[in-house]
Every structure is written in structure tokens, then in C-alpha cells.
Amino acid sequence: MVLVETRALVKRFGAFTAVDGISFKVERGEVVGFLGPNGAGKSTAMRVIAGFLEPTEGSAYVAGHDSQLDPVGARQSLGYLPEGAPAYPDMTVGAFLEFVAAMRGLSKPTTRERLGELIERIDLAEVWGRRIEALSKGYKRRVGIAQALVHDPDVLILDEPTDGLDPNQKHEMRELIRTLAPNKAIVVSTHILEEVEAICTRAIIIARGKLMADATPAEILARAPPRDPAIQQLVRTTPLEDAFRHITLESAGS
């Protein structure tokens, strides 16, 4: 079942085209890595899908709901972790997540059940009573993940979900995404290419707003150019990094 879809999606800011006619689908059970250089249009595309920005042309759908024509229906099915994970800094973690649950329309019994699961799953017990402004970057990221999961949505859009986490926390976050994946469609924007190999079933690469690749990690790897052993001794890169550079530089004519 297709849960996320973009159709010839375009987003312009004045004369600048941030997203240039991208189309793709994500089905239930897929974890899709959304990759590209800085400024490629990843975050803009995710904000349009989530309904926070209006497309200039084309359309985006979440669980069959047009994110602009039926924003309520789309957001009911969506959990979104934006870049920076904004939250109310003067609220405690527990109060903030209870507030999010109330805004989502959850009953008190359902809220208790969902928050109880999230405390354990995302390891928030230690900071439950702390103000968000006093948390480390890693814990703020975890709170951001928790607010995206409060209502158990069918679709998750996660912008840099492991940003600020230490290696152990990154491992735990990847495991969480794996456990969630069978019942959801998940789109993960990341700069960490090893994360794509670790958790993603597909990778979408955009550059200069254009879709450059939509394939499995293995198929992306197959597009890596031949490696020069002499250069490889000086600049140590992985095959996936080589493939990423090759694909993204195609858009610049290199």
C-alpha cells in the first residue's frame, strides 16, 4: 500500500527552484533514505509533503490525503520530525508530550498507554521531569522522535533523526526505526551514508532539486565509478560515498 507519494513536485522561492519536479512513492514496510548535498532541496521537499509549505506545482499525498487539499487528514496519518526538533523549551518533557497527545486528540487512557510505551522505547525516564531547554542535544532529538510517534502514525518523516546522538544512541535509534518499519512508511533524511546501508530498503538521491536516483542501496553502490588505488590511499572513501559523489555531481555536469 502506497502511503507517501509525490507527483511532479515543484517548490520555488522567487526565481530559485528548490524542488524541481520530483516524483516518488513509498509503501508500507519501506524505509527510504532521502539523500543529497546541503541545499539539494531535501528539507524543503519534506516540509511540502508534511504540509508546512505549499507546493508551487504538483502535489504530495500522505496515506492518500493531499497534504494541501486535505491537510487534517494528511497530518492525522503523519509523524514528522523536522530539522532542529523544535519544542517549547520551558515545558518539561512529560508535560510537552502530554500536550502533543492532547493536540492529537488522544484520550487520557490512550495517552497514558502511548507515553508509557515511549518512555521505555526511547529511554526518556531519566529526563521526564526536566525542562526541555535543559536537555542535551541528543535528548532533545529523542523528545522530537517521541512527539512524532505519540499518535502511532502510519507515516514517519524524519529529518536527521540521529543528529546529535552518540554512537550508542544512534544504534538504538536505528533499531527503533527497524522495529517500526514493518507497519509504517518511513522517510529518513540523513547525511550519514552508513545509515542508509544499515536501515534503508531504498535510497532517493536529489541534487539541485532534481531526483537523481531512486534505487536499493545495492543498486546505488553499483553506480560507483572505478576506484583508483593510488588516490584511494590518499583519500579514503567508502564505495557508497563514491557512488553518492558520482550521482550528485552528475547534476552539475561534472
Which cell goes with 250?
552528475
The C-alpha atoms of residue 184 and residue 235 are separated, in whole angstroms, by 39
- What are 49-64's pLDDT values in tens digits? 999 999 999 999 999 9
Residue 254 confidence (pLDDT)? 44
Where are the strands (E) in 163-216, listed by range?
185-189, 202-207, 210-215
The gap between the terminal CA atoms of the chain, to the nearest Å, is 38
- What are 176-216's pLDDT values in tens digits? 999 999 999 999 998 888 888 889 999 999 999 999 999 99
DSSP designation for 182? G
Percentage of the chain modeled with pLDDT above 90: 68
Residue 204 confidence (pLDDT)? 96
Which cell goes with 178?
527497524
Which cell goes with 222?
553499483
The C-alpha atoms of residue 225 and residue 98 are separated, in whole angstroms, by 50
Q: Are 187 and 156 in contact (CB under 8 A)?
A: yes
The rounded mean pLDDT for the chain is 90
- Structural domains of the chain sorted by starting position, each given as residue range(s) with its CATH number in brackets: 2-77+153-250 (3.40.50.300), 87-152 (no CATH)
Average the pLDDT over 123-131 and give the result. Answer: 95
The backbone region for 229, taken as left when phi is positive above 0, alpha when psi lies in -120 to 50, beta otherwise, is: alpha
H or E element that contains 231 = helix 229-234
Matching residue, cell 546501508 = 197
